[in-house]
Structure 1
């Protein structure tokens, strides 16, 4: 179904109920475009960010897609998890399965920034590998499980190999209970810890701050569950290596075209890893952006054009 013209400048806010071993939680998601369009673009943010990171991209693509941008559990408008040990990619993948089931897309394209790319790779890997592992139930079962109808996937400054130095940099500020007396102080803080985002004007930095900080009792505080730093801090080289093995397997079997977006100065996605991703998957190509590290914010014309041309290519 083709999307109807849309001129909305603000998204619709919805939620879906998800399950974890500790109980139920709601995951909020922001939605742009025609809600009846079955061509869905799912945009998933980085570790401490929210779905509102994709506002500019979503407004550009809302006439082509139903654009859906979730706040991953523990961030933004979504519920916090009862057990902080659940702030890990497998739980996020499970939450996205619930969201995709709610959306029922005819075609699902994906844009994942940093952690959002890992979630997408985990979901694609599960969708690709699970049919062979699912025992048959004969004529008394429900029949074959429907495949997730992936179309194209964008991996924004992330890949199967994780740079430990970059992870350490992020870990140095994740979970810190920092409070500010004014919104401008929060903006200055986000700009200081996010130099990898590249150059933005004052309005751009304000937009990158307003949904990751919120006012509480006269102070501006982080708009996420600070406990998510706990499982992040428990990562070891051995655990990272094991995760990378699974991620490379998913990448090698990725069944759809992929665009790798890399910040030229990235300390998360190395040039070597990006090159290896292209060499190991014939459906992948890479584009690099000068003056940017981790991660491109998908707010500039150059970055948006790269995503749009890839996703809408015949």
Structure 2
């Protein structure tokens, strides 16, 4: 079984410098790079199974977006926004493609927030994104779901032991769909850490909630318009994945996405809400078949 290498890259925000950690799988000399980016409170480890399945074809790069996991926290949480994340990813892509024999391009797999980052990056002129997988996200974000996420991520919840924390993660993640006990254990252990007092907490900066709380209806409308403009500017081959029961990406929005912009292929994962985890072989096969073209 392939082992990941832990690395980091220095990035910049208006508040100063920060280091973004990432896991790298596969041949470090492979010019074919797949970047996998997680959801708002998740981490690079979410892609361990997908990376192991694809690292024979790609060098798979899985960052902990700033403020999560092994990455540093921003000095000013107001910058926990998609434009900052896109800037960080430009720095990361430049690092992992520097000196390669390829054209500096990458393939991109983004779950939820990672999909939004991928959309905005793919829309830029001279974008390095050559193929794009968007996992259960789109330009229209259900405001009830966004509010639910904002409230959830800002709660300073501590657990007396790992089992209590794992039970909580499993409860709040039921929309991920059916998983084995072993899969739930990993999904929990990836995002829980033990603090100096022996309690267990979620492995991200609670300041992530600040930008959510600052969103007004007017700002939400502007953000939606900007995301549709980004979507319409994407020209690379694109796969759109939707959880059949998703409350964040509606079926109607997915259908509209298929009629404009990159006009992606749409795959709906039955019995799953927000968002498919791609830890199982059937879901991994959906991504592999699109990315590798067979």
Q: Which range, TM-score by smaller chain?
A: over 0.9
2:143 equivalent to 1:150: no
**Following TM superposition, by how much is the alpha carbon of 1:281 offset from its aligned partner in structure 2, in angstroms?**
3.3
Q: Which runs of 5+ in 1 are unaligned?
A: 1-6, 129-146
TM-score by length of 1: 0.89
Equivalent-residue separation in structure 2 for 1:148 and 1:270 (angstroms):
27
Give 2:83's aligned residue.
90
Residue by residue over 1:129-176, the C-alpha shift from the partner in whole angstroms, topping out at 9 and shown as x without a partner, is: xxxxxxxxxxxxxxxxxx343221000000111111111221221121
Supply the distance in 1 between the matched residues of 2:4 and 2:257 (Cα, whole angstroms): 34
What is the correspondence of 1:77-116 to structure 2 with a 5 Å cutoff? 77-104=70-97, 106=102, 107-116=105-114
Instruction: Choose from 227, 232, 236 the match for 1:252.
Output: 232
Moved more, 172-181 or 76-85: 172-181
- CA spacing shift, 1:286–1:81, aligned 2, 3 Å: same
Residue range with higher mean Cα deviation, 99-108 or 30-39: 99-108
SS state of the match for residue 75, structure 1? Answer: coil
Q: How does 1:149-188 map to 2 (within 5 A)?
A: 149-188=128-167
Give distance in 2, aligned partners of 1:263 and 1:63: 27
- What CA distance in whole angstroms lies between the structure 1 residues aligned with 2:261 and 2:81? 26
Secondary structure at 1:77's aligned position in 2? Answer: coil
For residues 20 and 282 of structure 1, do their structure 2 counterparts lie closer, same or farther at Cα, with a shift above 3 Å needed?
A: closer
SS at match of 1:72: coil
Residue aligning to 1:305: 285
Q: Point out 4+ residue stretches in structure 1 off by more than 3 angstroms.
A: none
State how many pairs are aligned: 288
Q: Distance in 2 between matches of 1:28 and 1:113?
A: 18
* SS of alignment partner, residue 71 of structure 2: coil
Q: Is the 8 A contact 1:108 1:148 kept in 2?
A: no
Q: Which residue of 2 aligns with 1:136?
A: none
Distance 1:59 1:224 in 2: 25
Partner of residue 12 from structure 1, selected from 5, 12, 15: 5
Instruction: Indicate which of 195, 198, 220 corresponds to 2:174.
Output: 195
Indicate the structure (1 or 2) with the bigger Cα radius of gyration: 1
| Whole-Å separation in 2 of the counterparts to 1:84 and 1:172 | 16
1:234-273 matches, cutoff 5 A: 234-273=214-253
Q: Would the alpha carbon gap of residues 177 and 298 (structure 1) be closer, same or farther in structure 2, given more than 3 Å must change?
A: same
Helix, strand or coil at the partner of 2:259: helix
In the aligned structure 2, how far is the partner of 1:211 from the partner of 1:85?
25
Please say which of residues 281-290 and 160-169 is displaced more in the overlay.
281-290
Instruction: Report the CA distance between 1:283 and its aligned residue.
Output: 4.0
**8 A contact 1:111–1:154 mirrored in 2:** yes
In the alignment, structure 2 segments of 5+ residues that lack a partner are: none
The reply on whether 1:277 has 2:257 as its aligned counterpart is: yes
Q: Partners of 1:215 and 1:282 in 2: how far apart?
A: 43
Q: Which of 21, 43, 46 lines up with 1:28 in the alignment?
A: 21
Length-normalised TM-score, structure 2: 0.95
The answer to whether structure 1 residue 38 and structure 2 residue 31 are counterparts is yes
- Which of 272, 276, 286 lines up with 2:266 in the alignment? 286
